[in-house]
Structure 1
């Protein structure tokens, strides 16, 4: 009996495992699959989760097997844009890098994760993927839209300057995110040229930028944790109380998955 209790305790205290899909990068004639350290560390340090990095270059056939091993899904930002053909538009930014392997992996990954009830946390490109997967579309050139700010970073600035607070985000009043952050408005960084235009099925807004750009979304009709943010809470997360709260909430949701499976 003592042995059985000890085994159960080990299972229930297992850290959650979270899937992170990798992206393509070419270096000196070689193709790489990569994931930036800035995304990995807060998942481990503030969410208390173990990252499982999945290459997207091998197709989507093994998605269900990947998801059978994890307790959550974390869709990060990247330097590439989503293929506009996936939301019925022509490509207006042909000079911008694309990553069709990631597109073709993450779209079915989102559908499968939602079906399995797994928590999903999505940042920047990841938030846009979540919206596109559910039938929404994007502003391909947000900076060219009337009355919209230019949310892109200045490539001539230092990295610290690029990721500095750029504008305020207004949280939907009395939403779970505003309650989590204990605020109606927060400062955020801004490093994106594209933004959500039309919301996908079941997607609701949690925050807007000063110009009305959508900065955070969730799926209130599903039971599991879902959150997409357009800013980058992973950047120096340990120095940002709002980032810590967001990663901790995602980690707590993933721990519930561990308990449900134990």
Structure 2
């Protein structure tokens, strides 16, 4: 029996600083294949190349990946500034309506970093362009130097809601995570539940209230060392279980933790 298909949102990239490609981090594919036990399929996030309705038909679930460009602030009613950084309007045009469609259908998705922010914006929320400039906040950005192991090292604790869905998945109300982001949630969108915070109050874990399917999204990068990390592994296992449930008869099931 074939494994269900997880669409992994790709990012635009220049190969050798010249050749335009759609790229996806290999650790995302590895996490989906080896931990979620699904077939990873890279999606070129451009409405000139694919349609949301076609993606919903050919994929059983989605990983909304991180990426260097940010969601354009016009998507949440604000003007762009230098602090907002680079943008990818093509990805905005695919992922934001995809999130809303998945919420309505109950089709599972897992949001990661930019994907976490996309979920909030898709549901009507807003973002801070640079959270390290806010009073009392720390620097959550990727360390500029060091190996990949050092960049993705666990850097802070996330406190989760007692008895909430993340607590259920992780089996603990506190987990240690990496942190590699500049932006963060300003105002949560309609039905967005902030279920976990960093020590400085930055939202780190969200889900969509009353959504019939899996909508867990995190601000950190669980794809790093997903097979061995005690936080990443149960998250990708739970996502994989939700995708397999959807693939059986195209309807959502209650959240459950996979072994």
TM-score, length-normalised on structure 1? 0.91
1:235 lines up with 2:221 in the alignment:
no
Partner residue of 1:26 out of 10, 14, 28: 14
Contact in 1 for aligned 2:51/2:94 (Cα 8 Å)? no
Aligned to 1:201: 190
Larger radius of gyration: 1
Q: Distance in 2 between matches of 1:158 and 1:40?
A: 21
Q: Distance in 2 between matches of 1:59 and 1:94?
A: 28
SS, match of residue 241 in structure 1: coil
Q: Distance in 2 between matches of 1:65 and 1:190?
A: 33
RMSD of the alignment, in Å?
1.7
Contact in 2 for aligned 1:170/1:186 (Cα 8 Å)? yes
Contact in 2 for aligned 1:171/1:184 (Cα 8 Å)? yes
Aligned to 1:65: 54
User: Number of aligned pairs?
Assistant: 250
- 1:59 deviates by 2.9
1:145 lines up with 2:134 in the alignment:
yes
Partner residue of 1:187 out of 152, 176, 185: 176
Contact in 2 for aligned 1:19/1:67 (Cα 8 Å)? no
Contact in 2 for aligned 1:142/1:194 (Cα 8 Å)? yes
Q: Which runs of 5+ in 1 are unaligned?
A: 1-9
Q: Which runs of 5+ in 2 are unaligned?
A: 252-259
Q: 1:95 to 1:250 in 2, by over 3 A?
A: closer
Partner residue of 1:117 out of 85, 91, 106: 106
Write 1 or 2 for the structure with the bigger share of helix: 1
Which deviates more, 22-31 or 65-74?
22-31
Partner residue of 1:131 out of 106, 120, 123: 120
- 1:96 deviates by 2.6
Q: Distance in 1 between matches of 2:71 and 2:97?
A: 14
Q: Distance in 1 between matches of 2:227 and 2:50?
A: 36
